[in-house]
């Protein structure tokens, strides 16, 4: 009998509760890997998008031209571009309203960018809590399966006059498999959560920095009377 067949027989011969625990842990592992791969792509696109937009923004182009580019038909701004779009749209709207001072215009632009940033952060943080939950609970679920399997093994021992290692080994082995599968589900989830949480934090810092820098630019162009929103940087 090969080791693979022995391992498979352990799973098939396990008690119903242990099998249920193993199925739950394997499902959690598959689900966490789906989140990991999708989140990796999302954060990579966000970082590359921020790099690309910063290159364009600080390249000396006209603000209105950049605004037209990020809001062109069929595209929805995401990432740092969404912050710019929200701030500049509000700037154009407020500068067309009479009686508003530069500080009021600037505060309105800041609020618009903060709302856009909160939406963006919510998108980037989506499912991170699920990874944290899988990473923190999977070992305990596996431990429950282990305890249940060992308990069944001791009950079987109590029903016979004498016990041998060959008799109790399968039950102990299937119990320990539950712990192993729990760790198998938990470790990648914990590593991915810590890594992605750090990436999200770094992106948030970049968004905060851009908001401050763009606010300083808008402050120079804010005017109490209707202004030409075609101002450059």
Residue 62 DSSP SS3 = strand
Q: How confident is the model at residue 221 (pLDDT cuts 50, 70, 90)?
A: confident
What is residue 135's predicted lDDT score, i.e. its pLDDT?
94
pLDDT in tens, 158-216: 666 666 666 666 667 777 888 888 999 999 999 999 999 999 999 999 999 999 999 98
> What number of CA atoms fall less than 13 Å from residue 233's CA on the CB side?
17
Q: What share of the chain is helix, strand, coil (3-state, %, to 5)?
A: 80, 0, 20
Distance CA 20, CA 25 (A): 9
* Residues 19-50 pLDDT 10s: 888 889 999 999 999 999 999 999 999 999 99
pLDDT tens digits, 73-104? 667 888 899 999 999 999 988 888 887 788 88
Torsion angle in degrees (nearest 10) through CA of 73, 76, 82, 85: 20
Question: Quick check: 226 pLDDT over 50?
Answer: no
Dig out the tokens for 10 from the structure.
């352990």
- pLDDT score at 59: 86
pLDDT per residue as tens digits for the range 117-168 = 999 999 999 999 999 999 999 999 988 888 887 777 777 666 666 666 666 6
- Alpha-carbon distance 127 to 37, whole Å? 12
Quick one: pLDDT at residue 1?
Answer: 42
* Alpha helices per DSSP H over 63-164: 63-70, 80-95, 102-125, 128-158
Locate 25 and state its tokens: 């842990």
Whole-model pTM: value is 0.80
């Amino acid at each position: 009998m090969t080791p693979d067949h022995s391992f498979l027989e352990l799973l098939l011969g396990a008690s119903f509760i242990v099998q249920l625990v193993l199925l739950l842990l394997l499902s959690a592992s598959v689900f966490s890997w789906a989140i990991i791969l999708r989140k990796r792509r999302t954060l990579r696109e966000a970082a590359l998008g921020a790099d690309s937009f910063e290159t364009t923004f600080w390249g000396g182009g006209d603000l209105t031209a950049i605004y037209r580019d990020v809001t062109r038909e069929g595209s929805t701004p995401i990432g740092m571009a969404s912050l710019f779009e929200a701030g500049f749209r509000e700037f154009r709207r407020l500068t067309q309203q009479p009686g508003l001072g530069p500080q009021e215009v600037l505060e309105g632009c800041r609020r618009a960018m903060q709302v856009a940033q909160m939406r963006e952060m919510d998108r980037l943080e989506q499912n991170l809590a699920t990874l944290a939950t899988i990473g923190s609970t999977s070992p305990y679920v596996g431990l429950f399966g282990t305890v249940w399997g060992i308990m069944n093994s001791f009950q079987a021992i109590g029903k016979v006059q004498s016990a041998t290692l060959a008799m109790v080994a399968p039950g102990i082995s299937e119990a320990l498999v539950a712990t192993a599968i729990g760790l198998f589900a938990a470790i990648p989830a914990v590593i991915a959560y810590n890594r992605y949480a750090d990436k999200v934090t770094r992106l948030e810092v970049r968004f905060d920095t851009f908001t401050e820098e763009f606010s300083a630019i808008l402050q120079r162009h804010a005017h109490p009377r209707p202004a030409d929103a075609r101002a450059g940087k």
